[in-house]
């Protein structure tokens, strides 16, 4: 019977270590679960922070791209304005040259008109017989250069040119003054 007691006692003592082992394993599993949960939470927090950082970097890159695009637009506008300015300056230069030509032509025509009017006055004095006054007027014309503005050609072939008429009047006055001096 002794064997039975031992066997009974051996059976009683065997379940006790299983309970002790399973009791120790529960806190280890809970500890491991807590560690994995904390690690998962840390990974999740790290991921969220990394995403946030990436979004900020992407935002900054987007702002930089926008700034570069605005700068490129400004440079393009500047280039367009420079071309427009060069074109406008060329047009201004052309217009200035045209104005100078027009002013020179106008002055030439005014000088010619004044010379023709002076020739008419000289002709009237000659026709009136005031040869002394004609001589004074001829001297003034020679000094002032009015004679140079007289046209050298006539618009009508039957009429002498104004310059030729002036020469005729000058010679006529010189001849009349020589006759009067004799």
pLDDT tens for 71-128 read 999 999 999 999 999 999 999 999 999 999 999 999 988 888 888 888 888 889 888 8
| Pair 173, 126: CB distance under 8 Å | yes
CB atoms within 10 A of CB 176: 16
CB atoms within 10 A of CB 166: 21
Question: What pLDDT, in 10s, does the model give residues 41-75?
Answer: 999 999 999 999 999 999 999 999 999 999 999 99
Least confident of 19-28, 91-100, 129-138: 19-28
Entry pTM: 0.53
CB atoms within 10 A of CB 105: 10
| Pair 91, 137: CB distance under 8 Å | no
Mean pLDDT of the chain: 85
Cα of 62 vs its chain's centroid, Å: 29
Cα separation, 57 vs 67, in Å, equals 15
Cα separation, 36 vs 30, in Å, equals 10
Token readout for 78 is 């500047």
Backbone angles phi, psi at 150, to 5 degrees: -70, 135
162-181 and 131-144 helices, crossing angle to 10° = 130
Token readout for 62 is 């987007």
Q: What is the pLDDT of residue 150?
A: 83
What does 70-119 look like in DSSP terms, one character per residue?
HHHHHHHHHHHHHHHHHHHHHHHHHHHHHHHHHHHHHHHHHHHHHHHHHH
Q: CA-based diameter of the chain, in Å? A: 198
């Amino acid at each position: 019977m002794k064997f039975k007691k031992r066997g009974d006692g051996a059976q009683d003592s065997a379940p006790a270590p299983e309970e002790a082992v399973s009791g120790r394993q529960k806190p280890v599993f809970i500890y491991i679960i807590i560690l994995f949960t904390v690690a998962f939470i840390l990974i999740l927090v790290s991921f969220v922070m990394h995403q946030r950082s990436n979004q900020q970097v992407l935002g900054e890159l987007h702002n930089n791209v926008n700034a570069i695009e605005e700068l490129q637009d400004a440079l393009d506008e500047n280039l367009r304005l420079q071309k427009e300015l060069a074109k406008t300056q060329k047009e201004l230069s052309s217009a200035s040259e045209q104005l100078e030509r027009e002013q020179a032509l106008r002055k030439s025509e005014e000088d010619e008109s004044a010379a023709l009017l002076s020739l008419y006055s000289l002709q009237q004095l000659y026709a009136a017989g005031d040869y002394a006054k004609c001589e004074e007027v001829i001297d003034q014309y020679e000094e002032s250069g009015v004679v140079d503005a007289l046209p050298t050609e006539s618009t009508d072939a039957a009429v002498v040119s104004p310059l030729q008429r002036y020469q005729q009047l000058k010679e006529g006055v010189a001849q009349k003054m020589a006759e009067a001096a004799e």
